[in-house]
Amino acid sequence: MSEKNTDNRGGRIDSKDLRNGVAFTHEAAQSQAAAAIKSIPSMLKDYSCPICNRTFAIYADLQHHYADEHPDAVVPVKVSFNVNGKDCEVLIEPHWTLQRTLQFRLGLTGAKQMCNHGACGSCTVIIDGRPVLSCMTLAIECEGKSIETIEGIAANPKWKPLVDAYCRWDAMQCGYCTPGFLVTAKALLDRNPDPTEEEIREALAGNICICGTYPRHSTAIMEAALKMAQGG
Amino acid sequence: MADLAGANGQREHFRVVGKPNLPGKLSYALATGIAKFGIDYVVPDMLHAKFLRSPYAHARIVSVDTTRARAIPGVVDIITWEDEDIKNLKSFGENFGTPRPWLDNIADYEGAEVGVIVVAESEDICEEALRQLDVKWEVLPHIVDIMEGRKPDAPVIRPGVGSAPAMGPGGDDNPPKKGNVSYSNLISGDIEEGFKEADHIIEYRLYLPPFASHMPNPSGSVAWWYDDPYHGEGKSLHIEGAVRERRAISAMYNVPLEKTVQEGLFMGGKYCDWGLRKSQEITPLLAKRTGRPVRCVNTREETFDFLMKERYMYLKVGFKDNGLITAIDDFSIADGGARGSSTFGTSGDQRYGPYFTFRCKNIRQRMEIVDSNRGMMYVSGQHCPFNWDSGTMAIYLIAEKLKKDPIEIARINLHGPTSQDDPNPVPSFEACIERAKEVMDWNWHPAGTKKLPDGRMHGASFRYQMCPRHAFSGYESKLELRDGVVYMPTQGPVFGVYAVECNAMVVAEELGLEYEDVKIVFDYREPFTPVGGGADGTTASAWVTKECANILKQKILEAAIEEAENPPPPMFPFGLPPEPSPFKGLKPEDLDLADGKVIVKSDPSKGVPLAKAVKKHIVATYSGRPPTALWTLGFGKMLDTMNTAFCEVAVDTETGEVEILRFVVVADPGKIMRLTSLESQIDQVMYFSQGCQLLEDYVYDKRTGVKLNNNMIEYKKPTILDVPPVEREFLETRAGNAAYGASGISHSLANTHLVIIAIHNAIGVWVDPPATPDKVLKALGKA
């Protein structure tokens, strides 16, 4: 299965996309996150064979093509779900994880691949209200489900106090694992808007920060919770 | 040496520098997940590449048949080590180890890239193609136990390959390599005489545990070539994920720097592991061969290199009745690692380390460096110098022997600030100790003598280190004033020490601005980068930026006078005439900058906003480095800013469980530059220290040489539930060489034995790190 971005622009690399990923303010980050959600491709317009690049108008033709030309290969499957409020349909191989699908099909890179074994929490997303490890979740398991990623949280002004608090307290060093922490923190605050330090530590126990920023997170989350209780 | 040479080095009032809770310039991008790291890049028409990796700890590819792999639909290119393109590749990455062919048919550790690279439409196809390679392996003898590897009858794993030390002392005086063992010896003073002077001699051993940083973001890159007539003939190279400066990739592919592009700003965790991995170096070649962008990334298992290699140390220390050390005989057996491993952590430690902080000059360091198939270590690590706690142990053991407080033993042995002959106390050390004793409520007790109310045994430990100063990297700072706004151009990428922010704070401080007023411009073409070490590089670059800011300031004040005397003609010569400048008739030295204005020193109410006071575009540059590099003057032979760390543990002698009750750090960074990240760095090093002493370890199958736990489930990193409270106190003696007398913190507090010593203080027996409950019970004779 090709891992080319489905946003096919004839091989042209747009430098604007490469610069995407730099934001100096919450507003800029919020706007970029919103733009990333907006550019999630919704419905599949055609079905490209990832092996030989032939394109088909309907899925059945792709299936026939596989039967004729690539009989030993696994036929890609269609999966539909809702990501950050947007319905979308993707064509993937059945063994693809949700993390891989988010990155390669939907262009969302906030769910980070770190351990690939469900050990570190960097790829955490929220599915139907629960924090879930997207590197351990097959995308086909998500059919019909609602998925919230860090981009969805970042684009929602409600969570500005949480993002602000993380930035004020340097609750990140290299920052690679940080989105996973924030998603877990958001899921915690959803169900417990006023957590104690102990409850925060329990909630974040599945997130590993190799830079060792742990003490910062509870400080940031408690500050955010207070601000949100006061109306943001 | 404090910051006496620079402008305002002894500034007394700070508005911005030292302030807490200023968000990092890139923190919003990081927190919201929009920041892109190397492996995040997905570009149209992109191919994927994978290396063949060795399933054996040591093996040679005799032959490989790629026919079946090439026949797989979707496979685009397969290259072997015999291809001229590969033979011509030469790395310019920072490995600092013995060079070897960029890729050949020999793998000297399990998981090493070897022999073949596959390029295909997807990673899945790459993996299938790798499975379809018909590889004939010759399995070679391996060494993953260095104590076995040093034996005379051990199989020689690198016959014909010279001695390992590339940076070590000794040179021609070292014995020639024998079997798997290279030698690196450094002798100073008269060791025999030193032992004769001694009233007591202690002997002890310590084990430095191998430790993985396993950088959070697996290494990888994506690269492509494109037409770019604006920067000369030939294609330009765009690469993301190569990290740090583009120079290494530019040199590797012989592409001018101006035609080598890397725009990404995020390199992830580095921990001074600067070595480029093959997945970061190969993509330009593959993109050139295929004419398409190529992505190559490591998996987590493939990104599990050493941050610290194992070492067995045997120490013999002579000392007088008062605790003064008279001789140190240090013999160590160190893992040389796979070929190409850094010599930091082996011979690289011998020229600096704990011993040179002692008054004792009779020191013999002998090291055996054993070739092994355990794995790679690139450049450096958070525990550098790795042997520091051999000195910490000496102090502790002398204290035990003499029934004295180890702090007193340290004080007796520590030389003064200027040299090993300096009998004066080190003010920074004394200040740290005074405060730490209060914070700790320090009341030392001999080993195994204090029981807590809950029945567990109490132990405490202490160590000191010097805060690192950094002056071997030069920096080229540039600042601009345009339309009243100060710009600070810098190249990325960043790696988590908030160095850019620290520099911006200095600019704001010197120019009378707020931190938010300084506009940081990230541009990969800019020469300035504050990278060059961690906190030490940050403060060193900040010194250069401070000089640059003062040059800009002088130019601004001169321009303000010039424009006051000769106002630039208005663009449209009608309307009211401009107001007369309050600076008319004054000199630049009569002016200052404050609150975003040019002001009259004698009457600060007379101020003109920068944009109005100076219309011209002003550029200031400064190229240089802070004065006096501690490392070039002899690491440890001069002492200025110091830090101290303490640990208290409770050991359950029934279960073997060790609980760190608290870490206390009292550190003198010279001057606090950016408080929040300074605190965070302390948390980090104590976290690293806890991990390697209680949890983390590499496990090998000795029979096959295969590493069994290079994943984040079985290699145990501490979680948020494991970390103890870290209490931190900072002093500001302004004794460092960098901006305002600052030093770094960086490696200096990371340690291998602070917790281990506290455990000994609790139970009276030694447990090698990592001190897992089973090892504690075994040491107690209970298992």
Instruction: Determine the residue type at B91.
Output: S
Which chain A residues are Cβ-neighbours of B46 within 8 angstroms? 3-5
Residue B730 has a pLDDT of: 97
CA distance B464 to A223: 34
A52–chain B nearest CA distance, Å: 7
B683, pLDDT greater than 50 = yes
> CA-nearest residue of chain B to A211?
B684
Q: Which residues contact A209 (CB under 8 A, 6 or more apart)?
A: A173, A177, A178, A181, A217, B216, B720
Cα-based angle A168, A172, A173 (whole degrees, multiple of 5): 120
Q: Chain B within 8 Å of A28 (Cβ-Cβ)?
A: yes
**Shortest CB distance from A11 goes to which of B45, B214, B263?**
B45
Phi then psi for B348, rounded to 5 degrees? -65, -20
B167-218 pLDDT, tens digit each: 566 666 789 999 999 999 999 999 999 999 999 999 999 999 999 877 899 9
Please check whether residue A122 is in contact with residue A113, taking contact to mean a CB–CB distance below 8 angstroms.
Answer: yes
Q: Chain B within 8 Å of A186 (Cβ-Cβ)?
A: no
Instruction: Pick the residue of A170, A183, A202, A219 with the most B CBs within 10 A to test the interface with B by mutation.
Output: A170
A10, pLDDT greater than 90 = no
Residue A75 has a pLDDT of: 94
**Shortest CB distance from B266 goes to which of A70, A110, A175?**
A175
Which chain B residues are Cβ-neighbours of A154 within 8 angstroms? 31-34
Q: What percent of chain B has pLDDT over 90?
A: 80
A6, pLDDT greater than 50 = no
> Residue written as tokens 């930035």?
A167
B12, pLDDT greater than 70 = yes
B165, pLDDT greater than 70 = no
B455, pLDDT greater than 90 = yes
Locate B708 and state its tokens: 């069994």
CB contact under 8 A, A212 and B676: no
- Mean pLDDT over B576-582 rounds to 81
- The mean pLDDT of chain B is 93
Residue B380 has a pLDDT of: 72
Which chain B residues are Cβ-neighbours of A134 within 8 angstroms? none
B645, pLDDT greater than 70 = yes
- Mean pLDDT over B127-139 rounds to 98
- Mean pLDDT over B482-491 rounds to 96
> CA-nearest residue of chain B to A73?
B73
Confidence band (pLDDT; 50, 70, 90) for B630? low
Burial of B190 (0-12, 13-18, 19+ CB in 10 A): middle
Q: Chain B within 8 Å of A217 (Cβ-Cβ)?
A: yes
Which chain B residues are Cβ-neighbours of A217 within 8 angstroms? 720
CB contact under 8 A, B34 and A29: yes
CB contact under 8 A, A23 and B32: yes
Cis peptide before A195 (omega within 30 of 0): no
B162, pLDDT greater than 60 = yes
Q: Which residues contact B131 (CB under 8 A, 6 or more apart)?
A: none
Q: Chain B within 8 Å of A111 (Cβ-Cβ)?
A: yes
B233-254 pLDDT, tens digit each: 899 999 999 987 788 999 999 9
Q: What percent of chain B has pLDDT over 70?
A: 97
More confident residue, B629 or B236: B236
Q: How many CA atoms lie within 13 A of B369 on its CB side?
A: 33
**Shortest CB distance from A5 goes to which of B44, B123, B292?**
B44
A201–chain B nearest CA distance, Å: 6
> CA-nearest residue of chain B to A109?
B40
Confidence band (pLDDT; 50, 70, 90) for B636? confident
ipTM over 0.90: yes
Q: Chain B within 8 Å of A78 (Cβ-Cβ)?
A: no
Instruction: Pick the residue of B21, B26, B32 with the most A CBs within 10 A to test the interface with A by mutation.
Output: B32
Please check whether residue B491 is in contact with residue B464, taking contact to mean a CB–CB distance below 8 angstroms.
Answer: no
Residue B80 has a pLDDT of: 98
CB contact under 8 A, A110 and B32: yes
CB contact under 8 A, A176 and B224: no
β-sheet bridge partners, residue B308: B211
Which chain A residues are Cβ-neighbours of B688 within 8 angstroms? 212
CB contact under 8 A, A51 and B218: no
B713-735 pLDDT, tens digit each: 999 999 999 999 999 999 999 99
Residue A9 has a pLDDT of: 34
Which chain B residues are Cβ-neighbours of A103 within 8 angstroms? 40, 42
B519–chain A nearest CA distance, Å: 10
**Shortest CB distance from A29 goes to which of B28, B215, B265?**
B28
Burial of B594 (0-12, 13-18, 19+ CB in 10 A): middle
Q: Chain B within 8 Å of A93 (Cβ-Cβ)?
A: yes
Confidence band (pLDDT; 50, 70, 90) for A1? very low
B303-334 pLDDT, tens digit each: 889 999 999 999 999 999 999 999 999 999 99
Please check whether residue A74 is in contact with residue A39, taking contact to mean a CB–CB distance below 8 angstroms.
Answer: no
Please check whether residue B494 is in contact with residue B265, taking contact to mean a CB–CB distance below 8 angstroms.
Answer: yes
Query: How many CB atoms are closer than 10 A to CB B628?
Result: 14
A2, pLDDT greater than 50 = no
Which three-class secondary structure string do you get for B503-562? HHHHHHHHCCCCHHHCEEEECCCCCCCCCCCCHHHHHHHHHHHHHHHHHHHHHHHHHHHH
Residue A17 has a pLDDT of: 55
- Identify which of A218-232, B87-101, B235-249 has the greatest average pLDDT: A218-232
Q: Chain B within 8 Å of A175 (Cβ-Cβ)?
A: yes
Which chain B residues are Cβ-neighbours of A112 within 8 angstroms? 33, 37, 40, 216-217
Minimal CA–CA distance to B596: which of B13, B98, B16? Answer: B16
CB contact under 8 A, A117 and B711: yes
- Distant-in-sequence contacts of A220-223, Cβ < 8 A, 24+ apart: A220/A162, A220/A165, A220/A166, A220/A168, A220/A169, A220/A171, A220/A185, A221/A162, A221/A165, A221/A185, A221/A188, A221/A189, A221/A195, A222/A195, A222/A197, A223/A161, A223/A165, A223/A168, A223/A169
Mutual angle of helices B388-402 and B406-413, in 10-degree steps: 120
**Shortest CB distance from B496 goes to which of A36, A174, A216?**
A174
B631, pLDDT greater than 80 = no
Which chain B residues are Cβ-neighbours of A2 within 8 angstroms? 74, 121-122
Residue B201 has a pLDDT of: 98
Please check whether residue B499 is in contact with residue B537, taking contact to mean a CB–CB distance below 8 angstroms.
Answer: yes
Please check whether residue B258 is in contact with residue B232, taking contact to mean a CB–CB distance below 8 angstroms.
Answer: yes
B571, pLDDT greater than 80 = no
Which chain A residues are Cβ-neighbours of B220 within 8 angstroms? none
Residue B576 has a pLDDT of: 73
> CA-nearest residue of chain B to A9?
B44
CB contact under 8 A, A28 and B520: no
B355-412 pLDDT, tens digit each: 999 999 999 999 999 999 999 998 777 777 899 999 999 999 999 999 999 999 999 9
Which chain A residues are Cβ-neighbours of B684 within 8 angstroms? 173, 211-213
Confidence band (pLDDT; 50, 70, 90) for B693? very high
CB contact under 8 A, A174 and B292: no
Instruction: Pick the residue of B25, B34, B713 with the most A CBs within 10 A to test the interface with A by mutation.
Output: B34
Residue B474 has a pLDDT of: 87
Locate B619 and state its tokens: 């550029």
Phi then psi for A130, rounded to 5 degrees? -115, 140
Residue B99 has a pLDDT of: 64
B53–chain A nearest CA distance, Å: 18
Which chain A residues are Cβ-neighbours of B719 within 8 angstroms? 205-208, 214
> CA-nearest residue of chain A to B262?
A18
B35–chain A nearest CA distance, Å: 4
B745-765 pLDDT, tens digit each: 878 899 999 999 999 999 999
Locate B516 and state its tokens: 């938010």
**Shortest CB distance from B496 goes to which of A51, A173, A201?**
A173
- The mean pLDDT of chain A is 91
- Mean pLDDT over B143-157 rounds to 98
Please check whether residue B563 is in contact with residue B580, taking contact to mean a CB–CB distance below 8 angstroms.
Answer: no
Instruction: Determine the residue type at A227.
Output: K
Confidence band (pLDDT; 50, 70, 90) for B297? very high
Q: Chain B within 8 Å of A13 (Cβ-Cβ)?
A: yes
Residue B97 has a pLDDT of: 52
pTM of the model: 0.95
Helix then strand then coil, in percent of chain B rounded to 5, is 25, 25, 50
Region for residue A17 given its phi and psi (left: phi exceeds 0; alpha: psi -120 to 50; beta: otherwise): alpha
Locate B144 and state its tokens: 């993953």
A62-92 pLDDT, tens digit each: 999 999 999 988 999 999 999 999 999 999 9
CB contact under 8 A, B46 and A5: yes
Residue A156 has a pLDDT of: 97
B81, pLDDT greater than 70 = yes
Locate B190 and state its tokens: 């008269």
